[in-house]
Chain A
Amino acid sequence: MASNFSIKHQPGFTAIAATCFVVLYLPIIVLVAYAFNAANSTSEWGGFSMRWFQSAGQNVQVIDATLRSFQIGAVAAVLSTIFATMAALATTRTAPYPGLTFKYAAINQPLMVPEIVTGVALLIFFSRIKIFTGYSGLGYLIAAHTAFCIPFAYLPIRARLENMDLTLERAAADLYATPWKTFRRITLPLLWPGILAGLMLAFVISLDDVVITEFVKSGGQDTLPTYMLGQIRRGITPEINAISTAFLLLSVAIVTLFFFVSRKRD
């Protein structure tokens, strides 16, 4: 009947969407379920148990890799967010000036190159520097992570800046605030949600990285993802499910936080 005609309806779209959401979540649910499996393999269900969480929690390699992941992630996220904030301030809310397009391209460049290529490039470059300086610490991983986190941190900060009403700063200047005071009292407070979102995004991106880390790391510098990749290649035990589940929980917590921060309107 014409009375039921909905302009938004497209045949089959809802079914496809429903399938997508089910398919997106089903594997994750199965993975989490098997983390609580008492059996030794992920092929059969041996009853509910927390044993794989305990075994992962006592695995020195896992603890070591986790701590390293957090360490790299925290430093890279903070550095990249600071740099991205500065870059965003320099590249928004201005008439085009010489070099502006270059800056956009340069900042987004890490997104445009496949990770494998960056990974290889850093492997070559850093191996030279290692020979030259003798230093083989976490600095290389931190530098690499900071670089590829910058475009991600830049994204929400720039978006926030571009949506910010320029007249607010003009009003502050009109009310006798010097440029620095305007920045401190008006721009920065209004930018905070964007900066926080950028920080979280950068942290998660760093935490998730496999490819570049795999190529840049020296011996004994496994992060949690590269450790897991090694384990998965060797054959799987429910311990990987347990680690994945814990990792997943952390990601969901951060997304939830991000979601609320970036949706905050004023």
Chain B
Amino acid sequence: MATAEEVAKAAERRDVRDRWLLSAPALLVIFLAATGPLLIVLIYSFLTPGPYGDVKWQFSPDAWLSVFMERDIFDDTLSLAAAHVTIFWRSIKLAVVTTIATLTLGFPTAYFMATRSEKTRDLWLFLITIPFWTNLLIRTFAVLQIIRNEGIINTILIKLGIVSTPVQILYTDTAILIGMAYVYLPLMVLPIYASMEKLDFRLVEAGYDLYATRFKVLRKIIFPLVKPGVIAGSILVFIPALGAYVTPSVLGGGKNMMLSNLIELQFGQGRNWPLGSALSITVMIIVMVALLAYVRNAGKSGVRHG
């Protein structure tokens, strides 16, 4: 007869096996249609472009070189690829500024929502959830109609006599920034709100009781306690903003490219799949670095605030 320990061990083994079987379909689909293909991208980034797109199965480091460098066609010397650097810089800058802008607007908004009475809180949550669930393309399109030369902003400015000719906002970096801040704002508000809702306001009372000013209470009590929400929100905004495709396509025109448009170009007219692959991997590396930095930061603050 089996001993108690053997029976327990066997049951545990069976449980772990069942749990693997249960998660197998999800893992398989994700591996086949999300994670696995990333490896192929990595391989493609080291191959030679085919004449009509796709690749020739021949090793070449050129794609990686041309991520940041370009080869002079006359003397074969390498120099910094100004166009690529500009696009990288613009993408990172816009993603960071978008994150900061949504945080600046989203934090007070989440605070406002969390300090409403229990009943109305659900209504505010509902109002912030609707845009979150509304198609991103439609919301970008809505912004386009507001900021274009014939849009509501310029019409009002002209009617009021503030300007005589429309202010060109559309097809500028500002347009992309406005659009991204607009579409990603709910992604910032929701996680901060989730943390804020759990905040025990008696701690705030205790802060005031111990002579803290409003600003001190905000900085020393509220902010540290909702930091996980702020971090989650920042990640949720930064990742899609860096790889944003729809917003720059619609609001940036063809001119103000971001990384995703540059990548798309390599698979379209550019016919340089290896370069497109190398650029994609680069985007992923930037995202991973940002994620790691955040996670480490979050881990540290987690220790401090228990």
Contacts and interface: CB of A to CB of B under 8 A. Distances in A.
In the complex, A touching B (Cβ < 8 A): yes
Interface of A: 7-14, 16-17, 19-21, 23-28, 30-31, 34, 42-43, 79-80, 82-84, 86-87, 89-91, 94, 97-99, 103, 106-107, 109-125, 127-128, 143-144, 146-148, 150, 154, 204, 207-208, 210-211, 214-215, 225, 228-229, 232-233, 236, 240-241, 244, 247-248, 251-252, 254-256, 258-259, 263
Contacts of A24: 127-128, 131, 182, 185-186
B159 to A, nearest CB: 14
Contacts of B257: none
B150 A103 contact: no
B29 A150 contact: yes
B31 interface: yes
A17 B135 contact: no
Max chain A Cβ within 10 angstroms of own Cβ: one of B54, B135, B240, B243: B135
A130 B137 CA distance: 29
Contact of A121 (B40, B105, B146): B40
A115 B29 contact: no
22 contacts: A7-B201, A10-B108, A14-B112, A19-B105, A20-B109, A24-B127, A24-B128, A25-B127, A83-B26, A84-B26, A86-B23, A87-B27, A90-B19, A113-B34, A114-B283, A121-B34, A146-B29, A146-B33, A148-B33, A225-B137, A241-B145, A259-B122
Contact of B284 (A90, A113, A251, A263): A113
Contacts of B240: 114-115
Given A83-B26, A120-B280, A110 B34 contact: yes
Given A110-B34, A124-B273, A146-B33, A23 B182 contact: yes
B157 interface: no
Contacts of B30: 106-107, 109-110, 147, 150
B41 A121 contact: yes
B182 A17 contact: no
Given A99-B20, A112-B291, 11 more contacts: A97-B16, A107-B26, A116-B264, A118-B37, A125-B40, A143-B29, A147-B33, A233-B250, A244-B135, A251-B134, A256-B126
Contacts of A9: 214
B38 A13 contact: no
Contact of B141 (A31, A83, A121, A144): A31
A229 B144 CA distance: 13
B141 A244 contact: yes
A118 B287 CA distance: 13
B33 A143 contact: yes
Contacts of A80: 29
Q: Is the interface of A mostly helix, strand, loop or mixed?
A: helix
A244 to B, nearest CB: 4
A66 B144 CA distance: 23
A119 B105 CA distance: 31
A111 B22 CA distance: 21
A25 B27 CA distance: 38
Contact of B36 (A87, A107, A125, A244): A125
B20 A116 contact: no
Contacts of B182: 23-24, 27
Contacts, number: 265
Max chain B Cβ within 10 angstroms of own Cβ: one of A83, A116, A258: A116
Given A30-B152, A147-B32, A17 B23 contact: no
Contact of A208 (B27, B128, B135): B135
A208 B131 CA distance: 12
Contacts of A214: 245
B143 interface: yes
B130 A91 contact: no
A258 B141 CA distance: 25
A31 B199 CA distance: 37
A83 B239 CA distance: 25
Interface in B135-179: 135-139, 141-146, 150, 152
A10 B142 contact: no
A7 B205 contact: yes
Q: Which 3 residue pairs across A and B have the least CB separation, nearest first?
A: A114-B243, A17-B112, A121-B37
A133 B245 CA distance: 30
Contacts of A121: 34, 37-38, 40-41, 280
Interface in B197-233: 201, 204-205, 208, 214, 218
Nearest to A13: B108
Given A27-B142, A150-B29, A229 B20 contact: no
Contact of A211 (B33, B35, B260, B284): B260
Contacts of A110: 30, 34-35
Contacts of A11: 214
A108 B245 CA distance: 21
Nearest to B222: A10
B180 interface: no
Nearest to B136: A208
B94 interface: no
A86 to B, nearest CB: 5
Contacts of B33: 122, 143-144, 146-148
B249 interface: yes
Contacts of A124: 37, 40-41, 44, 273, 277
